Amino acid sequence: MDALTRNRLKWKCRRGLLENDLFIERFFAGRNGAITARQAAGLSTLMELADNDLLDLLLRRSEPQGELQRDDVIEVLALMRTPRAADEDEGPHRARTVETPDPAPHLLTEESP
């Protein structure tokens, strides 16, 4: 897929829900610009869904039914659901260890008043 076609597809994929946009952006970033015609067809089909229906699929609250039970749709959905290694290492929601100082070390002495 050439860059112009990919950019048009990416523009078409803009959604009203931020959560959907995050999945879509990760999908495009994970392909490094290399999207097959089959993936583009599956993605276009998913983009015809309402935002909440798409989010339900992405979060595994539901599975493709009826017209969505196509190989191209299932492939794209699997790619969108799978986190990239970079997301796990550098993502904004990764677990962080925060050192906190002892709130009142002077109160923990063995001396009695």
102 domain residue, yes or no: no
pTM score of the predicted model? 0.67
Q: Which domain holds residue 63?
A: 3-82
63-to-23, 27, 84, 99 alpha-carbon distances in Å? 16, 18, 21, 41
Assess whether pLDDT exceeds 50 at residue 95.
Answer: no
Residue 32, domain CATH = 1.10.150.250
Q: Mean of the per-residue pLDDT values for the chain?
A: 79
109 domain residue, yes or no: no
66 domain residue, yes or no: yes
98 domain residue, yes or no: no
Specify the number of domains making up the chain.
Answer: 1
Closest CA to 79 of 13, 7, 26, 21: 26
Higher pLDDT: 62 or 88? It is: 62
Higher pLDDT: 65 or 113? It is: 65
Instruction: Say if residues 43 and 76 touch (Cβ distance below 8 Å).
Output: yes
Instruction: Please give the Cα distance from 44 to 38 (Å, whole number).
Output: 10
Closest CA to 57 of 31, 78, 29, 35: 78
- Crossing angle of helices 37-47 and 71-81, in 10° steps, is 80
At 26-61, the pLDDT tens digits run: 988 887 778 899 999 999 999 999 999 999 999 999
Closest CA to 77 of 95, 89, 65: 65
97 domain residue, yes or no: no
